Structure 1
Amino acid sequence: MQNVVVVVQDGVEPFGLGAMCEVWAEPYHPEDDNPVFDFTVATPRPGRVRGPAGFDLYVEHGLDTLAHADLVCVCPKRGYLDPSPEVAEALRAAHDRGATVFAHCTAAFVLGEAGLLDGRRCTTHWRHVDALTARHPEAEVDADVLYVQDGNVVTGAGSAAGLDAALHLLRQEFGARTAAAAARRMVVPPHRDGGQAQFIARAVPDCDAETLGPLLGWILEHLDEDLDVDSLARRALMSPRTFARRFRAETGATPHAWVTRQRVLCAEELLERTDRPVEWIAREVGFANSATLRHHFTRLRGVSPQQYRRQFAC
């Protein structure tokens, strides 16, 4: 992935464009050793692109730049239901020749117009899920995720989820270390799993109730220990049932799923930074053995630990 094109149209949302620039348009930072991309902003008719927030853009490049893109990002816009036939055609052509196509928030509607969501899992901002479902009934719209990758089509939820999806792509292409460095530079969480709920319905306990934040921090420091629901509930001074309910309300995941993801994340970093055997890494992050690590790692990342190491080891 070297050539990145971001498509904007009249009404482009500034945050959506800014998020893409933050990830894909950064110059080289020696302290991070970050990849640098050939980055272009394109629009159907080069020139003035009207914005919805009191300022406009001037864009020099047209949609012909998509012909050489490895990654095409489509920014959300006001008036998202307005047809975009030129953009849809260019996206279809880019997708058909193998480029990754990425849209977040209401830009998912443009992918739908291009026919790229038919038969695919996808998402959009939770306010617009029903409209996307009605407009593109062949799409499998998931309202309860931050982002989805289905083949070479990636969709993100609301504006901030565009950053999560972009970091996911960066992580997939360049590894956990590179994505974490980018997240640290932007001062955002290094990884929010795509399956996390778009918005968390927090419980309404007693006003002086503690959140689970301190416990989550403790878990990250003790991944190699037994972290079943009963032991975590005791540490949180709750019954297992109350703890499991509170945990899901505050994190959007079950305790087992959340802990498993953190263990896989830690394993990724150890696979990149060390030459330790996979069996040792499995024990270090809290899996019983290398077979258990391999099972969860492959399920969540789509490659085995050994394949991941070959691709991303320093």
Structure 2
Amino acid sequence: MVLIPLFDGVQSVTFSGPADVFSAANEATEADPAGGKAFGYEVLTASRGGAAVRTSSGLRVVPDAAFEDVTDAGTVVVPGAEGVPVLDEETVAAISVLAGRAGRAASVYTGAFLLAATGLLHGRRAATHWQFAEELQRRHPAVEVDARVTVVRDGPVTTAGGIASGVDLALDLVEQDLGREAAHAVARNLVTHVRRPGGQAQFAELHLREARTASLREVQRMVLAHPQADLTLRSLSRRAGLSERHLSRLFREQTGMSARVYVERARVAVASRLLTETLRSIETVAEETGFGTVATMGHAFHRVLGISPLD
């Protein structure tokens, strides 16, 4: 049985997406060629007291059961909320008991905060949405938060980052249960990927910290607007009207990285956007973003994102 705990403010797609994948998996495995009993997922939703919940989009959902009535869930998939979930202690305690009792636990989006609160992510690598990765790491330092990938599997715990990545997570669980071929069959039926190319990294690195100093913010805007320009430290310091040494210190203090690293990440960010949102060739993007060659851009992508421009 797959249990999906529900609560007020839950993001509907973070639980409906996985439920649809498990349903599609049941359809794909209905016919057992060996003539035995076909594998089937039973998906159950539950809430505190079995009460109806209202999703973040305003939909009213009536769960199948109350938390206290569920005793035999083999997998618990914790959905996410809009932002960091804020729940009453009884709901958190119930989810903690259910997830701890199950043989396998998972979370989608900010559901990782709830799973971390149960202690199941302690000492494990986990994913959440890239916008909330730093906060999850701050609240739970024993968790190794990875905001670059869409799905992370660490032992019996699987976590997914994006709002819609519950589909990716459920496909991963199907692959664990039924094998890669079955997961691909379900993905084809849903017209999606078993693993989305590029993960979250291509979006996470677009989130570059803005400086506090006005002159440094102006330099940042110039770098992002003209990545193909001469962006050496000397050129940037002239633009800002600051000495190279002072500019270097400001960059480290206010962005958490050197000017050179910032320029590389900014170029990767712009290149990533052009590759995903336009029809420009890789060669053109490399030239327009100041890398010059595809090889140079590829090295930068691997350093910053851990993926290739083609991915």
Answer whether TM exceeds 0.5 for this pair. yes
Distance 1:139 1:28, change over 3 A: closer
Q: How far apart are 1:81 and its partner, in Å? A: 3.7
Distance 1:12 1:246, change over 3 A: same
The letter of the residue matching 1:16 is: T
> Secondary structure of 1:166's partner?
helix
Q: Among 176, 200, 206, which residue is 1:172 paired with? A: 176
CA contact (8 A) 1:88 1:110 kept: yes
Query: Does 1:241 find its partner at 2:295?
Result: yes
The letter of the residue matching 2:174 is: L
Q: Distance in 2 between matches of 1:245 and 1:49?
A: 48
Distance 1:77 1:30, change over 3 A: closer
Q: Among 181, 185, 192, which residue is 1:188 paired with? A: 192
Query: Does 1:140 find its partner at 2:156?
Result: no
Q: How far apart are 1:31 and its partner, in Å? A: 8.5
The letter of the residue matching 2:307 is: A
Counterpart position of 1:209: 280
Q: How far apart are 1:164 and its partner, in Å? A: 1.3
Q: Distance in 2 between matches of 1:183 and 1:83?
A: 33
Q: Distance in 2 between matches of 1:155 and 1:198?
A: 19
Counterpart position of 2:15: 17
Q: How far apart are 1:133 and its partner, in Å? A: 1.4
Q: How far apart are 1:9 and its partner, in Å? A: 0.5
> Secondary structure of 1:160's partner?
coil
Q: How far apart are 1:39 and its partner, in Å? A: 1.2
Distance 1:250 1:211, change over 3 A: farther
Counterpart position of 1:106: 110
> Secondary structure of 1:42's partner?
strand
| Structure 2: runs of 5 or more not aligned | 32-37, 206-268, 284-291
Kindly provide the CA deviation profile for residues 196-217 of structure 1, in whole angstroms up to 9, marking residues without a partner as x: 63627351779873259xxxxx
CA contact (8 A) 2:25 2:174 kept: no
The letter of the residue matching 2:64 is: E
TM-score (norm 2): 0.63
Counterpart position of 1:115: 119
Q: Distance in 2 between matches of 1:133 and 1:247?
A: 24
Q: How far apart are 1:185 and its partner, in Å? A: 1.4
> Secondary structure of 2:81's partner?
coil
> Secondary structure of 1:53's partner?
coil
Counterpart position of 2:68: 64
Q: Among 123, 130, 134, which residue is 1:130 paired with? A: 134
CA contact (8 A) 2:75 2:103 kept: yes
Kindly provide the CA deviation profile for residues 22-45 of structure 1, in whole angstroms up to 9, marking residues without a partner as x: 112348436885842111111122
Q: Distance in 2 between matches of 1:29 and 1:168?
A: 17
> Secondary structure of 1:149's partner?
strand
Kindly provide the CA deviation profile for residues 67-110 of structure 1, in whole angstroms up to 9, marking residues without a partner as x: 21111111112363413433443444345445211111111111
CA contact (8 A) 2:29 2:40 kept: no
Q: How far apart are 1:190 and its partner, in Å? A: 2.9
The aligned length equals 230
> Secondary structure of 1:67's partner?
coil
Q: How far apart are 1:13 and its partner, in Å? A: 0.8
Q: Distance in 1 between matches of 2:61 and 2:85?
A: 21
Q: Distance in 2 between matches of 1:170 and 1:251?
A: 27
Distance 1:144 1:8, change over 3 A: same
Distance 1:27 1:146, change over 3 A: closer
CA contact (8 A) 1:202 1:250 kept: no
Query: Does 1:162 find its partner at 2:160?
Result: no
Kindly provide the CA deviation profile for residues 156-184 of structure 1, in whole angstroms up to 9, marking residues without a partner as x: 10112221122112112211111011111
Distance 1:87 1:120, change over 3 A: farther
The letter of the residue matching 1:241 is: A
The letter of the residue matching 1:73 is: V
Distance 1:97 1:11, change over 3 A: closer
> Secondary structure of 2:110's partner?
helix
Query: % of aligned pairs identical?
Result: 30
Counterpart position of 2:156: 152
> Secondary structure of 2:9's partner?
coil
Counterpart position of 2:212: none
Work out which of the two has the higher radius of gyration on C-alpha atoms and give 1 or 2: 2
Q: How large is the Cα RMSD of the aligned pairs?
A: 3.5
